[in-house]
């Protein structure tokens, strides 16, 4: 699913108005109906009073239209219009004119932030001050209104996006509504995917307002949202007469003394991903552990007892994943360089393989094209340097993926996948319960297994990240986020595959 900029969404609106055809007021009415349908599912109690803070632009028009629709459904809706500039859009004026002249709805106008009325504690606040057209931080009386809203104990719901938030770039300053929930029209906004805006956006959802499908097909954007539809399209069913050789032989280079659990988790996940055969290359001290914990895998024992120091025979491996728990011994660094020089196919680099790469930058020239790198934020920083905000970090991630012709998966709440072709994908699965040791090792195993099965690197990256998060969601649903462990994600991978294909 494509994620468009605010400018592109406005162009999409215009395209719909011209080609459906539909006038702008009725498109606004349609958007208000979509929001209202979502709202009453989320807040079904129509005895709870609603107060809607409106600007005088089109986002304010959305708010007025929503007030009218809620009024018809039996809600007590109060509209507070902040008319500071005395500049009103035509569609806002049309929505004001469409309000019922009597009934359980009120309309108040304010030309200064100083005399806004007190909000009753049980009222639910709807923010409809500013929409996606904002391109600079709020100041003056608008900032005062936002600051007042943020000091309220009331629950706040924003229409389209929190007022004061700039949708496509970093929003400096504090004058942004801190919504508990946000409902976005047609598509989520780019700003929703970055942690700096988490407290501003709150829980978010989105819904289609029926914009013309043809616009999406002819309009390009680097940003995409990875949902079940896209992930399921990548799935390759197994032919009836398959055998273990049909699904590849993977090599995992993982583990060191005291960190053999990383190798166990990655190996179990690799097997659950559907790989045909798996060999684990690990220090000799891990042999008994691995043969006992993962009997389905074979073990290639390094000559060193406690850390990885030699490159095994690479003949016959369809994919290689390296990094979980390997440590950073000098001999391990040399072994990593030797592995990178010897193996020419795309491979998976994670954890200490990335830390060693950041300390030995000359090894970049040996990283095979289309390899997959899976850093968490600190590992990313070590590899590529610090940035001032998450938008800058995203720009850097995309730039480095193209520069090195690799896939860079930055792990987080919406794991972001930067592709060497310039495209970027935000994942839709996963939850905070996955913020626990070992979950990255599980992802390494899944991705290595998919590569071994012959999935192209981009397909493996997208499908693997989606499955990893989905397994985490299914595990959290059954066990709670708090009790979730990395091993649970492995155990729920089977259910994730079934859910993907449902």
Q: Mean pLDDT throughout 293-308?
A: 98
pLDDT of residue 215: 96
- Nearby residues of 233 by Cβ (< 8 Å), 6 or more positions away: none
SS3 265: helix
Q: Tens digit of pLDDT for each residue in 63-95?
A: 999 999 999 999 999 999 999 987 999 999 999
Tokens of 180: 């508990």
Residue 12 dihedral angles phi and psi, to the nearest 5°: -65, -40
CATH number for the domain whose boundaries are 6-221: 3.40.50.10260
Q: Tens digit of pLDDT for each residue in 29-73?
A: 999 999 999 999 999 999 999 999 999 999 999 999 999 999 999
Q: Spell out the domain ranges in the chain.
A: 6-221, 229-501
Q: Tens digit of pLDDT for each residue in 90-137?
A: 999 999 999 998 777 899 999 999 888 999 999 999 999 999 988 889
Q: Are strands 348-349 and 372-373 parallel, antiparallel or unpaired?
A: parallel
pLDDT of 149 strictly over 90: yes
Label each residue of 34-97 as H, E or C.
HHHHHHHHHCCCCCCCEEEEECCCHHHHHHHHHHHHHHHCCCCEEEEEECCCCCCCHHHHHHHH
Please give the Cα distance from 120 to 153 (Å, whole number).
Answer: 10
Q: Tens digit of pLDDT for each residue in 244-261?
A: 999 999 999 999 999 999
pLDDT of 364 strictly over 90: yes
Q: Please report which confidence band the pLDDT of residue 174 belongs to, taking 50, 70 and 90 as the band edges.
A: confident
Q: Please report which confidence band the pLDDT of residue 16 belongs to, taking 50, 70 and 90 as the band edges.
A: very high
Given this chain, do its domains 6-221 and 229-501 carry the same CATH topology? no
pLDDT of residue 502: 85
Dihedral sign from CA coordinates of 235, 241, 244, 250: negative
Q: Tens digit of pLDDT for each residue in 412-450?
A: 999 999 999 999 999 999 999 999 999 999 999 999 999
| CA angle, residues 361, 362, 363, in degrees to nearest 5 | 85
Q: How far is CA 94 from CA 58, 66, 425, in A?
A: 10, 13, 39
- CATH fold, domain 229-501, is 3.40.1190
Closest of 233, 230, 273, 278 to residue 251, by C-alpha? 278
Please give the Cα distance from 205 to 158 (Å, whole number).
Answer: 11
Please give the Cα distance from 17 to 40 (Å, whole number).
Answer: 27
Dihedral sign from CA coordinates of 161, 166, 168, 170: negative
Please give the Cα distance from 18 to 89 (Å, whole number).
Answer: 19
Confidence (pTM): 0.96
Please give the Cα distance from 489 to 474 (Å, whole number).
Answer: 8
| CA angle, residues 212, 213, 217, in degrees to nearest 5 | 125
User: What are the residues facing 204 on neighbouring strands?
Assistant: 182
Closest of 423, 381, 428, 385 to residue 401, by C-alpha? 423
Number of other CB atoms surrounding residue 284 within 10 Å: 14
Let me know if 397 is exposed, middle or buried by CB neighbors in 10 A (0-12, 13-18, 19+).
buried
Q: What percent of the chain has pLDDT over 70?
A: 100
Closest of 368, 500, 496, 401 to residue 443, by C-alpha? 496
């Amino acid at each position: 699913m494509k994620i468009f900029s605010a400018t592109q969404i406005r162009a999409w609106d215009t395209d719909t108005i011209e080609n459906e055809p539909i006038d702008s007021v009725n498109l606004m009415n349609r958007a208000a109906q979509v929001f209202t349908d979502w709202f009453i599912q989320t807040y079904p109690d129509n005895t709870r009073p609603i107060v809607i803070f409106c600007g005088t632009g089109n986002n304010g028009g959305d708010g007025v239209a929503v007030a009218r629709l809620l009024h018809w459904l039996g809600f007590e809706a109060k509209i507070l219009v902040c008319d500071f500039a005395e500049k009103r859009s035509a569609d806002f004026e049309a929505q004001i004119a469409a309000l019922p002249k009597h009934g359980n709805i009120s309309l108040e106008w304010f030309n200064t932030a100083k005399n806004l009325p007190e909000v009753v504690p049980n009222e639910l606040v709807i923010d409809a001050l500013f929409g996606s057209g904002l391109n600079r931080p709020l100041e003056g009386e608008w900032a005062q209104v936002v600051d007042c809203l943020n000091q309220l104990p009331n629950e706040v719901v924003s229409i389209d996006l929190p007022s004061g938030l700039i949708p496509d770039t970093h929003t400096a300053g504090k004058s942004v509504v801190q919504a508990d929930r946000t409902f976005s029209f047609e598509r989520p906004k780019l700003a929703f995917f970055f942690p700096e805006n988490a407290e501003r956006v709150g829980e978010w959802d989105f819904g289609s307002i029926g914009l013309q499908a043809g616009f999406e097909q002819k309009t390009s954007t680097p940003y995409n949202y990875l949902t079940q539809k896209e992930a399921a399209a990548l799935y390759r069913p197994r032919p009836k007469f398959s055998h273990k050789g049909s699904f590849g032989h993977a090599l995992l280079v993982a583990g060191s003394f005291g960190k053999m659990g990383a190798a166990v988790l990655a190996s179990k996940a690799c097997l659950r991903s559907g790989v045909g055969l798996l060999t684990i290359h690990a220090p000799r001290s891990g042999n008994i552990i691995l043969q006992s914990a993962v009997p389905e895998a074979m073990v290639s024992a390094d000559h060193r007892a406690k850390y990885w120091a030699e490159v095994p025979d690479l003949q016959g491996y369809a994919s290689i994943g390296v990094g979980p728990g390997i440590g950073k011994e000098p001999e391990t660094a040399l072994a990593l360089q030797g592995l990178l020089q010897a193996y020419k196919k795309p491979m998976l680099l994670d954890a200490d393989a990335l830390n060693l790469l950041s300390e030995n930058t000359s090894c970049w020239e040996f990283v095979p094209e289309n390899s997959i790198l899976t850093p968490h934020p600190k590992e990313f920083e070590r590899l590529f340097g610090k940035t001032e905000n998450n938008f800058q970090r995203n720009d850097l991630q995309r730039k480095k993926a193209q520069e090195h012709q690799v896939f860079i998966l930055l792990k987080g709440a919406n794991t972001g996948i930067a592709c060497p072709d310039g495209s970027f994908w935000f994942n839709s699965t996963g939850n905070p319960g996955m913020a626990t040791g070992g979950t990255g090792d599980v992802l390494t195993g899944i991705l290595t297994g998919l590569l071994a099965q012959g999935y192209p690197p981009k397909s493996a990256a997208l499908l693997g990240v989606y499955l990893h998060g989905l397994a985490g969601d299914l595990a959290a649903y059954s066990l709670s986020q708090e009790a979730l462990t990395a091993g649970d994600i492995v155990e729920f991978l089977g259910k994730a595959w079934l859910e993907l294909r449902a």
